[in-house]
Structure 1
Amino acid sequence: MPAYVIVVLEPPRLAAHRREPILNVPPVITVLAAVMLLIQLIRDWVDLETGVEILALFAFIPARFDPSVLAEGVLPGGMAADIWTFVTYAFLHGGWAHVGLNLLWMLAFGTPVARRFGVLRFLLFFAVTAAAGAALHLVTHEGELVPMIGASAAVSGCMAAALRFMFAQEGRGAWRPGLMENAVHVPAPPLMEVLRDRRVIGFVAVWFVINLAFGLGEPAGIVDGSIAWQAHMGGFLAGLLAFPLFDPIRRWPGGDPYSRATRH
């Protein structure tokens, strides 16, 4: 495809956002990080029995949904826990290295997504992608007793969402500093157009290969130190496909999709 130059027309308010440093973390990311760190601190502080109870109540355990594996009432929380564990598992981690790595990725990819979506949309998006990861893990690990924990599925959803708009401003031009930050305020191209971008194809291919490599090496389940790669893929696919449902920026009617933006 021939190279082309796109002139971006934006009001002063959007131009001002260009001068914001990329590490100016949105409050919602800071709060989520603080909650995860606090939970990890509490889990390190409590005794072993209490720690197991926390996992039983808030981790995602596929055996909850298989009556042939566990008798009703063995795991705490009942039907309510059957629902909330689709999200609460994302706030638990297997150790400081685990939570630290997830927070680094959330800082990198969650920051631009949170700026684009706003607080409420981002929190809902985080919950939906976490739930999607848990759902795919459930399908592939029916009756599994090992609890799954970690924010990786939601973080993978943020990666996918960022791919939907990170190259939008300059079309198929080369990467340059500040690209992600500027693209936060630009309408995203359709999914099929995004998937034709070689940079996106390369990123997705490498991401899937890495996850498959980890997954083929050992069974999923974070508590025993292995990787719940199916949950990663579930969160990623949910973020990629559900992005338009959360995106507040729409194309200007009758105009160039990359030249103007409006929020609803």
Structure 2
Amino acid sequence: MFLPLHDANRIRHISFPYVNYGLIGVTILCFLVQSVLPQAAFDQATIDFGMIPIVVRNVYPQPVPWLPDWGTLFTYAFLHADWLHLLSNMLFLWVFGDNIEDAMGHLKYLVFYLACAVCAALAHLVFNMADNGPLIGASGAVAGVMGAYILLYPHARVFVLARLVVLIPLPVPAFWMLGFWVATQLFYVVIGSDEPVAWWAHLGGFAAGLILAAGFRRHEVALLGGR
């Protein structure tokens, strides 16, 4: 129903968000490698490096002998099913990630992003204990970035492309845009959905970002935008 285009929230503490851009670059590179594989190899890569609950729980052996069972709690976040899956996640990360890196610093932001990826995967695992299908995609980690953003910059204006009668760009406070996103995830969790979307991973990542951001932020970065 909407896509973020950019935000009116300049960075103040760093000169360049190279970790955020690096994460975007590495994720795109991983998909480019995936995309040149034959379909059978593409599917095998998602099995080998996606997060499969019964593998992480050691019910079924890890397909890649050298990769620990818990290793896919990280690797799954760098795989995507198709270009739309990839680009939608990277768009949200590009819009919101630079400010969170600015608020935390480079190294803390990297740790934060990976921690949110792990928490999102664990949330998915808890509600899908017997699942034998692979979880892939950066959306859980990106949801963590969004959770941090709503805690630190709820009043920042985000320009979104919204579908009313026609597609039009609208400036809205981050709280409303991201709050609507969370409400959508909760709605589909409650009513159920046949779509192949990891709703619990989204909510788990968002909750992790919301909680971790308070401790990872710089002391001079106020909660709730200082209001």
TM-score, normalising length: structure 2: 0.76
Q: Per residue, is there more strand in 1 or in 2?
A: 2
**Match in the other structure for 1:96:** 83
* Contact 2:119/2:205 (8 A) holds in 1: yes
Q: SS of the residue aligned with 2:89?
A: helix
| Residue 56 (structure 1) aligned with residue 47 (structure 2) | yes
Give the counterpart letter for 1:55 in structure 2: T
Separation in 1, partners of 2:175, 2:28: 34
1:47 CA drift (Å):
1.8
Q: 2:197 aligns with which of 227, 232, 239?
A: 227
Separation in 2, partners of 1:211, 1:19: 28
1:67 CA drift (Å):
5.1
| Residue 243 (structure 1) aligned with residue 217 (structure 2) | no
Separation in 2, partners of 1:248, 1:212: 30
Matches within 5 A, 1:185-224: 202-203=176-177, 205-215=179-189, 216-219=191-194
Q: 1:108 aligns with which of 92, 95, 108?
A: 95
* Contact 2:148/2:213 (8 A) holds in 1: yes
**Match in the other structure for 2:37:** 46
Separation in 1, partners of 2:156, 2:216: 26
Separation in 2, partners of 1:245, 1:83: 25
| Residue 34 (structure 1) aligned with residue 25 (structure 2) | yes
RMSD: 3.1
Q: Quickly say closer, same or farther: Cα 1:142–1:108, change in 2 above 3 A.
A: same
Q: SS of the residue aligned with 2:68?
A: helix
**Match in the other structure for 1:77:** 65
Separation in 1, partners of 2:54, 2:103: 37
Give the counterpart letter for 1:235 in structure 2: G
Separation in 1, partners of 2:133, 2:53: 8
Q: 2:132 aligns with which of 138, 145, 154?
A: 145
**Match in the other structure for 2:150:** 163
Give the counterpart letter for 1:236 in structure 2: F
* Contact 1:87/1:130 (8 A) holds in 2: yes
Separation in 2, partners of 1:122, 1:177: 21
Separation in 2, partners of 1:102, 1:25: 21
Separation in 2, partners of 1:44, 1:166: 36
Q: 1:132 aligns with which of 113, 119, 125?
A: 119
Structure 1 unpaired stretches of 5+: 1-17, 168-173, 179-198, 220-224, 260-264
Q: Quickly say closer, same or farther: Cα 1:38–1:175, change in 2 above 3 A.
A: closer
Separation in 1, partners of 2:114, 2:156: 31
Q: Percent identity?
A: 29
1:83 CA drift (Å):
1.6
Q: Quickly say closer, same or farther: Cα 1:124–1:66, change in 2 above 3 A.
A: closer
TM-score, normalising length: structure 1: 0.66
1:126 CA drift (Å):
0.5
Structure 2 unpaired stretches of 5+: 1-8, 160-172
* Contact 1:126/1:154 (8 A) holds in 2: yes
